Structure 1
Amino acid sequence: MPRIIAWTYSNYLRPFHEEPPFRAAARRFPGAVRARCALACTALSSIAVLLSGCALHAPAVDRASADQVRSSRQTDPQAGSRSIQAIKHIIVIVQENRSFDSYFGTFPGADGIPFKAGQPTVCVPDPHGGCVRPYHDPRDKNFGGPHGSRAAALDIDGGKMDGFLTALSIGRSCTSNDVNPNCGSGEVMGYHDARELPNYWQYARNFVLQDRMFESTASWSLPAHLFLVSEWSAKCTRPGDAMSCARALQQPAYPPDYGSHRGRGRHRIAARPDYAWTDLTYLLHVHHVSWAYYVFTGSQPDCADGDADCAAAMLSARTPGIWNPLPYFDTVERDGEEKNVQNIAQFYVAARSGSLPSVSWIVPNQRLSEHPDALVSDGQSYVTGLINAIMQGPQWNSAAIFLCWDDWGGFYDHVPPPPVDKNGYGLRVPALVISPYARRGYIDHQTLSFDAYAKFIEDDFLSGQRIDPKTDGRPDSRSVVRENEPQLGDVSRDFDFSAAPRPPLILPTAITVAH
């Protein structure tokens, strides 16, 4: 039976309770396609997982033809940063754990899954024999795959992008928590299209789809969120000393209530982490630019250090964690700006009243995040509600919404990430630009990462000042200024500031998904 998901404004203001205990990762999936081979979740798992597998489907026919979708390969827009100040409110909406190909791999005009005569031309080797091709997955609930730094290296496999099924074998103790970054179900080759993602595809048809947005770091959620707000993921050895910090691709300092110490007792985490390096809010504070970080109360997944046996961690504006790291930054505490980390209810109030700050980040809870095993439809409805709130508010005509997913979640993607430094780039993730000035139906093929968001914010509000230890007035030990990397594209090219602002596109938040 179809399942109808509907959210109203009041639903968003009602905080969600804790999630129920996570289900076991090792399970048998029905699916519309049959497996040719069995995959083991891990060597230590006691239950075999049958991979839903190789019967192939051609991509769904989308209502927008490829001719209707303009591409940056066809045009070279020159919307310069001289007009960027038309954007007075930047909102970064961060969802969870999807690769570009898993959401937009069959979108017309995008650099998606290679097809020939209606069949995918790629077939990823299965270490248990044979190979598996990408297939349409109509299910609302997915379980993904390993998505830590080791999994990223296996998936990428030196640029061959053929290790996604091999990576499933690195999980451990994957019997009690199926959302751990080192666990997976074996359905990582599935993809969705407009049938499961009607609103996301509508946004792509009407605004800007970025098909070369790479995660800033080849790792999981905590490093990704640290990069989103600070352009680095590090661990510091001396509290308050920014020069004592060194890069940490997989294991930056964990929140004290997080990780396996709440389960089996290994790797106890007792101390509050100290993120002493410079973050973007420091520059915003110095330049008197308002900001907020909105958090949806609930829980968050992923266990510390790849362990699977741990309870879900609490997430709220007053409970810092992997999706809410800013309260652990020295700059936020010293600038007295902990109050800027707020409950999601404050976002809706600000959007309705026209009091959104200059820069906003918005993070969900597990239930609304699209992080496996959360329902895709729940996340899509929630995001639509966020965007509708902005569009229906008085600040729409000066707003830019950047919608992204923090990491690839173990799902297949065929584009090798370009190297930038020892942290990344990571794998491709979906990303959209939604604004009254965004180019209509435009696909941006520039090489991008979350660093491009920071660059846009800095160009718009900080006169181009970067998080640069040589010039920002607060030295730290990072060796790379990510925003200045030559290969990084410029998202200002996704806008046409010479045009009149476009009216809102209000989409329904009731989404029907067939199981």
Structure 2
Amino acid sequence: MSARSLVLLGLLALAAAAPPSHNNEGEWQHEDEAKGSWKSKIKNVVVLVEENRSFDSFCGGFNYRNDIDGLVGKTFCNPVNASIPGSPTVCAKPIANDVAPDDPPHGLSGVNYQIFGTFHPPSNADMSMEKMNGFVTEQATTFKSGGNATRAAEAINYYAPEHLRVFEALAKEYVLFDKWYAAVPGPTNPNRAYLTAGTSHGHGRNDADFTTFNIPVRSIFQQLSEKGISWINYSNTTGFLPDADFYTWTKTSGASTTNVKPLSQFYTDAEAGTLPKFTYINPECCSYQSFHPPSATTEGEAFVKKIYEALRSDPQWEETLFILTFDEHGGFGDHVPPPVNVPAGDDLTYSEKAPDGKNITFDFKRLGMRVPTLLISPFVEKMGLEHKGQNYGKEYTHTSILHFLANLWDLDILTPRVGWSSTFEHLIGKTARKDTLRTLPDAYPF
């Protein structure tokens, strides 16, 4: 075969391997993953993990695209008492309050009930068994609303788009995921552990091990240090440890002193263009920055605006990928059943006693509810929308971030869950946009 024929065959093979271009308006060209040149675009990754909101509660009212899987044009209702056939129902409305009157249940038992209508789903439960009808019942039972269905319905109510000016502006400017799932159908710290280490080491609640450097697993922070890649966990936590400080290694290595900094330092470093390769941000929780009740939505929006505008003004902006997500749904309603039968991070299980006095054992093989997630960079398309994952396990979840970072910086795959999770490098385009917003709208004045 001639040299020219060999070259042509090689070009054809490359063309076949390249993912198809996609653009809502016929202009955007996605990066060619086969060439790996997307890695040259992203030098710095920033991750901000907010608190306790489901996709429907935040994005259910978004209507700037008709293919967002929210609540526009849908009816999402829950019975007041899911255990009683024929119980009166209430339906979600776009009237969510700036400050939620209650903090809905979001422990493992409560989430089981929200998804399945029972604390004890079968071990072989599939998605057809996920009724998504227990949110209002759990809210009413936990807070003893005395039959006040209007108050209990706050668990499934959602925001009108004009009430989320900051988040909607970012969604319209960059890429919104409408099928991004929390890693665990449970509370904050197990999800944050999965997001930073690919496992919670068998922890299913916010127990004391998370406040005493007592999670003995290898995290992304340890990985980066071993690889010589700079990182800082900027934190404004009060009453909780920053996520990097969950881990025994962070304390014994001294990284808790050298690599965990106050949030004020983030703004200084962003202005100077000296952010590390990996920036991880913990908001304050739970009074004014995190969206976690009783945090006001307006104050959470103001915080996100401040973080974004600091990054947008950063000299490193054109090399930065900013991922904004939420640790878990916080007990707020969502109509989409989460995936089941997924790989766990390890072989450990977690047990707790349900309100009915019976034990629940969880093997971490089900994902949590959808949470709002944005991919923000001059290299992603305007008004982008990503549904299911395109590779690996074909689902996006918190450990997708770890898998993406492993691909970006040639890191080990930390756990089976990480290796299964879909990555999103195909969303990184060939050229940087020059029209990205420098400032965002002010938060809505409720």
Instruction: Tell me the TM-score normalised to structure 2 length.
Output: 0.77
- 1:106 aligns to what? 61
- Deviation at residue 168 of structure 1 after TM alignment: 2.3
Match status 1:512 vs 2:444: yes
* Residue of structure 1 equivalent to 2:142: 171
State how far apart, in whole Å, the 2-side matches of 1:328 and 1:114 are.
Answer: 36
Counting only pairs closer than 5 Å after superposition, residues 428-439 of structure 1 correspond to structure 2 as 428-439=370-381
Q: After TM superposition, give the deviation of residue 85 of structure 1 in Å.
A: 3.1
Name the residue aligned to 1:147: 106
User: For residues 194-205 of structure 1, what are the structure 2 equivalents within 5 Å?
Assistant: 194-205=161-172
Is 1:283 paired with 2:229?
A: no
Unaligned runs of 5+ in 2: 1-22, 117-128, 146-150, 345-362, 389-394
Structure 1 residue 391 displacement after superposition? 0.6
Q: Where does residue 413 of structure 2 map in the other structure?
A: 466
**Helix, strand or coil at the partner of 2:186:** coil
Pair 131,77 (structure 1): closer, same or farther in 2 beyond 3 Å: farther
Contact 2:80–2:137 under 8 Å retained in 1? yes
d(CA) in 2 for partners of 1:208, 1:146: 30
Q: Taking structure 1 as reference, are residues 400 and 100 closer, same or farther at Cα in structure 2, changes over 3 Å only?
A: same
Could you tell me which residue of structure 2 aligns to residue 414 of structure 1? 335
Give the match for residue 417 of structure 2. 482
1:7 alignment counterpart: none
Aligned to 1:133: 91
| Match among 299, 302, 313 for residue 381 of structure 1 | 302
CA distance, structure 1, for counterparts of residue 25 and residue 141 of structure 2: 39
Match of 1:457, SS state, is helix
CA contact (8 A) 1:405 1:429 kept: yes
Aligned-partner SS, 1:223: helix
Residue by residue over 1:394-450, the C-alpha shift from the partner in whole angstroms, topping out at 9 and shown as x without a partner, is 000000000011110111101111021432310000000110101211100022111
1:495 corresponding residue in structure 2: 428
Instruction: Supply the AA of the counterpart residue of 1:124.
Output: N
Find the aligned partners of 1:293 and 1:510 in 2 and give their Cα distance.
Answer: 27
8 A contact 2:189–2:210 mirrored in 1: no
| Alignment-derived partner of residue 5 in structure 2 | none
Q: How well do the aligned residues superpose, as a CA RMSD in angstroms?
A: 2.6
2:24 to 53, 66, 70: 70
CA distance in 2, matches of 1:510, 1:113: 24
- What residue in structure 2 maps to residue 121 of structure 1? 75
Q: Pairwise mapping of residues 11-410 of structure 1 onto structure 2 (< 5 A)?
A: 70=24, 77=30, 79-80=32-33, 81-107=36-62, 108-114=65-71, 116=73, 120-127=74-81, 129-137=87-95, 139-142=97-100, 143-157=102-116, 158-168=129-139, 171=142, 186-234=153-201, 247-250=202-205, 252-255=207-210, 272-297=212-237, 299=238, 314-315=239-240, 320=241, 324-338=242-256, 339-365=258-284, 366=286, 367-410=288-331
- Give the conservation status (yes or no) of the 8 Å contact 1:96–1:409: yes
Query: How much does 1:84 deviate?
Result: 2.3
Q: Which residue of 2 aligns with 1:38?
A: none
Counting aligned pairs with the same residue, the percent is: 24
Q: 1:438 to 1:78 in 2, by over 3 A?
A: closer
Asked whether the equivalents of residues 134 and 191 of structure 1 are also in contact (C-alpha less than 8 Å), the reply is yes
Residues 466, 131 of structure 1: alpha-carbon distance in 2 compared, 3 angstrom cutoff:
same
Q: Is the 8 A contact 2:270 2:311 kept in 1?
A: yes
Secondary structure, aligned partner of 1:139: coil
**Structure with the largest fraction of helix:** 2
Distance 1:205 1:508 in 2: 11
Shift of 1:460: 1.1
The residue identity in structure 2 corresponding to 1:337 is A
2-side partners of 1:123 and 1:429: how far apart? Answer: 19
Give the distance between the partners of 1:110 and 1:376, measured in 2 at CA.
Answer: 25
CA contact (8 A) 1:71 1:443 kept: no
CA distance in 2, matches of 1:378, 1:283: 34
Query: Structure 1, residues 354-376: CA drift from partner, whole Å, max 9, x if none?
Result: 11011111111121111011110
CA distance in 1, matches of 2:264, 2:331: 32
Moved more, 188-197 or 204-213: 188-197
Separation in 2, partners of 1:210, 1:77:
16
Equivalences, count: 368
Q: Which runs of 4+ in 1 moved over 6 A?
A: none
> Aligned in 2, Cα 1:206/1:145: closer, same or farther, shift over 3 Å?
same
Partner residue in 2 for 1:445:
387
Check conservation: 2:68, 2:385, Cα contact below 8 A: no
Task: Flag the 1:255–1:83 CA change in 2: closer, same or farther, 3 A.
Answer: closer
